[in-house]
Structure 1
């Protein structure tokens, strides 16, 4: 068996044991290394030259991608914290620098966050299963960011609430509390963050509410509509026209609409919150007939 083809079939990085078990010979492996069709990631692990850097670096450390590093690969909404998140066995030894297999894993300069697997033993996985990766995210991320990951995973159909309940079942109460506040209907991380922040203030917020022919992200009270733009939102001609028509219908129906950009939610929240609280204090979120 061609070891290069076997490595590609495994996900572009593979252990020596897998290649030998599939029929590759030591001579074939060494020949592929000599010909530079493979390179050595760490002891008994190999990769093809075009293997993704994050996978190579995680294996070089001695584990698998997890937490936000794995979530980003799955297409989930994430906030990049600048770290490589790696899951390793509880008995792992000889962890290496992600950039040099000859150098032990060092201090913060390596920018690696190590997560210890709950299940003992080595694995050939390159990426942690999603429920485990989400548990690891809750270990190291701000809670609202981790809940946004839970929302995103359920919204995309990559995991069910029941699967998460089983995975979180024997964990500390804070994990189950985070899951209880997750909602798979949320369609963007910014929507999740706004929902959590307002509810933390004791404000009643409904999500994905049908208002006439439209579905809105958040509805506060009876008439305050909050739309949350994602980082990827584009204002092309078609989107722009659709958004303006939507806003016109909201105003015509007597609703107040507040459209928040990614930057406003992430970096200007105190100012945004002040505006929302003022509108609530003035009872603008209620229809005139019910304000008294």
Structure 2
């Protein structure tokens, strides 16, 4: 493998030490620079000539990506992509518009310019709007990458009360960020909610609200023809089994949760009034 392929396989720039551990000595590095195969972006760091990733930007700034800017590097759920670059840079100055975070206190990513997962989540909990932080934490906790107990232990004191309140919204299992957001909406409305309930003849449903309304949160996969056919069958089986069914897609769950909630409440109210009785 040549140096260019090595950098491409790692997803971004590398240090002289990293290249050395991969078997590239200083002579080969210098030769690659002279040939234009790689470029030196700052002392001790090299990248591909046309690379424009946030990893290169972080290396050039001498910092580590964190908060929502580090979420893609760890494969974490996000509601919206980072509009600004979030970095840990120590005492260095950064261009206007970047967001700087405090020092990193946990082991960083082994080769990418990413703060450690613990720091990334702690920074997100302190920095981002509640639901944006929640989906990142839910993803990491749900995969078993980190524990709620560990995060709580790092967020003591009055100044972290808001961050701890976000942790209270994390659920044991969520198959998508839509489930996390819908659950938060229902629970805060005071509804009695059961998740991932097995319904005879139907299978597992996302939510059973007040023991009578099935709520399903549908991502893009539910638009595929085979899934549409399957969902239609599940809807019919649910109604035959005595349950009411509502399905909500990404736009309502993420951008208009109040409309989703209003429909659930209206259906429950109609049922209370006997609208669905024989």
Give the TM interval when normalised to the shorter protein.
0.7 to 0.9
User: Displacement of 1:175 after TM fit?
Assistant: 2.4
The TM-score with structure 2 as length reference comes to: 0.81
User: CA 1:160 to 1:79, structure 2 compared with 1: closer, same or farther past 3 Å?
Assistant: same
Change (3 A) 1:22 1:77: closer
User: Which of 212, 226, 234 is residue 223 of structure 1 equivalent to?
Assistant: 212
Structure 1 unaligned spans of 5+: 96-104
Aligned mates of 1:55, 1:228 — CA distance in 2: 34
Q: What is the CA–CA distance in structure 2 between the aligned matches of 1:178 and 1:285, rounded to whole Å?
A: 36
State the 1:13 CA deviation: 1.2
CA distance in 1: counterparts of 2:262 and 2:132, whole angstroms: 22
Is the CA contact 1:63–1:87 (under 8 Å) kept in the aligned structure 2? yes
Deviates more, 1:208-217 or 1:27-36: 27-36
Number of aligned residue pairs: give it: 274
Please, which of 264, 267, 279 is the counterpart of residue 252 of structure 2? 264
TM-score (norm 1): 0.78
Aligned equivalent of 2:105:
119
Which position in structure 2 is the counterpart of 1:233? 221
How do 1:140-289 residues align onto structure 2 when only pairs under 5 Å count?
140-168=127-155, 172-212=160-200, 213-230=202-219, 232-284=220-272
TM-superposed CA distance for 1:239, in Å, is: 0.9
Distance 2:73 2:246 in 1: 32
Range 138-147 or range 81-90, more displaced: 81-90
Q: What is the match of residue 38 of structure 2?
A: 38
Provide structure 2 residue ranges, at least 5 long, that are not aligned to the other structure: none
What is the Cα deviation at residue 3 of structure 1?
A: 5.8
